[in-house]
Amino acid sequence: MKFKTALSAALAALCFLGLPLSANEIAKGQCAACHGLDGNSVNPEWPNLAGQHASYVAGQLRAFKSGDRTNPNMSAMVTNLSEEDISALGEFYAAGQPKIGSIETEQIAAGESLYRGGNTEKGIPACMACHGPNGAGNPAANYPALRGQHAAYSSLQLKAYRDGTRTTDKERKLMMQSIAQKLTDDDIEHVTRYINALH
């Protein structure tokens, strides 16, 4: 029932924006199984896409299509998407509402201090500087939204930047790779748990 309501709200939003409905059809038919009907996934290793910036979603889809980003689950999903589909899917997910997680009070501090203040001694900048105080990111600068993202997914990505397997930031001076290289496993655990509840 909830899904139906969310879906018709999304449909109404799309009609209002005059966007092609095909994005909705594609999302429902090919993406919802993993990313959820409303763009919030049930498996914590699969990213939530709801409320992510359109240009970031489209950019990552192009990266999967060109092979710049690889993943056994995703790479096959993008081969048949046209450039139009990719842009429309970006708009579709951007219109969704991200689902925010929760965190135990005593677990907040460690992640919060890294997110908001970085670590000067280790040369780690505050995540907030680019991803925003509430984790909403910055669409103009193409800094992705992080708020509500599953800790397991964010953690996988930080480790992929750290070990150099995710290179989608290569045209941006490898900014996430160089930050992730300075993060310990504990840092990653704390900050991703904080991000999951951030809004």
Contacting positions for ligand HEC (CB under 6 A): 26, 30-31, 33-35, 46-47, 49, 57, 60-61, 71, 73-74, 77, 89, 114, 124-125, 127, 129-131, 143-144, 146, 154, 156-158, 168-169, 172, 175-176, 179, 191
Number of H helices, E strands in the chain: 10, 0
- Tokens 């704390």, residue located: 190
**Which residue number, 22 or 30, has a Cβ lying nearer to ligand HEC?**
30
Nearer to ligand HEC, 10 or 156 (CB): 156
- HSE, CB side, 13 Å, CA atoms: give it for residue 49: 26
**Min dist. Cβ of residue 128 to ligand HEC (A):** 8
Q: State the minimum distance, in angstroms, from the CB of residue 9 to ligand HEC.
A: 19
With tokens 């990266």, the residue in question is: 63
Give the pair of three-digit tokens for residue 92.
């579709």
C-alpha 132/C-alpha 115 separation (Å) is: 10
* Residue number, 5 or 172, with CB nearest to ligand HEC: 172
Residue number, 124 or 197, with CB nearest to ligand HEC: 124
Alpha-carbon torsion (153, 130, 55, 23), positive or negative: positive
Report the residue count for the chain.
199
Q: Which is nearer to ligand HEC, 9 or 126 (CB)?
A: 126
Minimum CB–partner distance for residue 161 and ligand HEC (Å): 7
Question: CB of 76: closest distance to ligand HEC in angstroms?
Answer: 8
Measured distance CA(21)–CA(103) in Å, rounded: 37
Work out how close the CB of 55 gets to ligand HEC at its nearest, in angstroms, rounded to a whole number: 11
Q: Nearer Cβ to ligand HEC, position 1 or 29?
A: 29
Q: What distance in Å separates the CA atoms of residue 56 and residue 35, rounded to the nearest whole number?
A: 16
What is the nearest approach in angstroms of ligand HEC to the Cβ of residue 77? 4
Q: Which residue spans within 34-169 are E strands per DSSP?
A: none
